[in-house]
């Protein structure tokens, strides 16, 4: 049976395999508590670009994890 450790490991593998390096960076900063504006400042982009990147990352993860969740 799956343990929470197995579940977390699976989710991390999906993130690693499914997201681009930029998506992983933006997603990680967002999960750490940074705002769109702060992420944009750190990465030299706009909050709108951060929003688009997060939407794309979420869509990919939803598709990959839909059968798992």
Cα–Cα separations (whole angstroms), residue 55 to 2, 4, 7, 49, 67 = 29, 26, 23, 10, 19
How do residues 5-15 score in pLDDT, each as one tens digit?
Answer: 778 888 888 88
Segment 27-67, tens digit of pLDDT: 999 999 999 999 999 999 999 999 999 999 999 999 888 87
49 CB-contact burial (10 Å; exposed 0-12 / middle 13-18 / buried 19+)? middle
> What's CA 20's distance to the chain center, in Å?
9
């Amino acid at each position: 049976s799956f343990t929470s450790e197995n579940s977390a490991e699976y989710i991390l593998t999906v993130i690693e395999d499914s997201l681009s390096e930029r998506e992983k960076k933006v997603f990680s900063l967002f999960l750490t508590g940074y705002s769109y504006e702060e992420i944009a400042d750190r990465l030299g982009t706009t909050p709108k670009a951060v929003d688009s990147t997060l939407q794309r990352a979420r869509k990919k993860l939803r598709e990959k994890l839909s059968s798992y969740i």
